[in-house]
Structure 1
């Protein structure tokens, strides 16, 4: 499993998560910063990447399209401080790895995580 960090996350976070054992790339290394969310989702689905974002639009797109891929990790109320965010994210992703590999929306906050399998049912 490989993570793709959205533009709303710091590029240095990709390096820190990779150091914690989860291969991670930042969108800025793959495509234009102004790319629409649909383009980011298409690239992630094509390459088997799991999107990590603060953007609620990705879950809305998953719900509207009833798509089974790509998996999305939605961060909520977590500090952008890399030393706080990286270990919390790595732990949540590791714990939810089987679901993310199958297709899931993982919502992560400071205290807990919630997994919903794709496609989302409205």
Structure 2
């Protein structure tokens, strides 16, 4: 899969996903540090990437836009994890999540599981 890692996560997340053979970039690598969320979303759509972020504003923006892309993985409740542990959790669940993310979805990781909502949000 192709991922765009938001600035609220360590660039190490992108490095580890790349090492695991996923096409992954951090917003810093695209010169989009401090860019508004709508700009990050536009970059993800243009490059067909799934956003990985701790920023719940992406869900609100997707609901407002009523669009089916980009898909977003929210990891807000897992922020205390080190980058390798976070990446292992994401990769460990990609088999189940990938079809949803390709179709357009928001997947929210929580301490008790994963919630998936299909896009567009209503």
Give the aligned partner of residue 53 of structure 1. 53
In structure 2, list runs of 5 or more residues that go unmatched: none
In structure 1, list runs of 5 or more residues that go unmatched: none
Deviating 4+ runs (over 4 angstroms): none
Alpha-carbon shift at residue 61 of structure 1 (Å): 0.1
Contact 2:56/2:76 (8 A) holds in 1: no
Give the aligned partner of residue 20 of structure 2. 20
The CA deviation string for residues 15-66 of structure 1, in whole angstroms up to 9 with x for no partner, is 1122233221111011331110001101111110000000011011001111
Number of aligned residue pairs: give it: 121
Give the aligned partner of residue 108 of structure 2. 107
Give TM-score scaled by structure 1 length: 0.91
Contact 1:4/1:26 (8 A) holds in 2: yes
Give TM-score scaled by structure 2 length: 0.91
CA distance in 2, matches of 1:76, 1:70: 18
Q: How does 1:78-117 map to 2 (within 5 A)?
A: 78=78, 79-117=80-118
Q: Secondary structure of 1:107's match?
A: strand
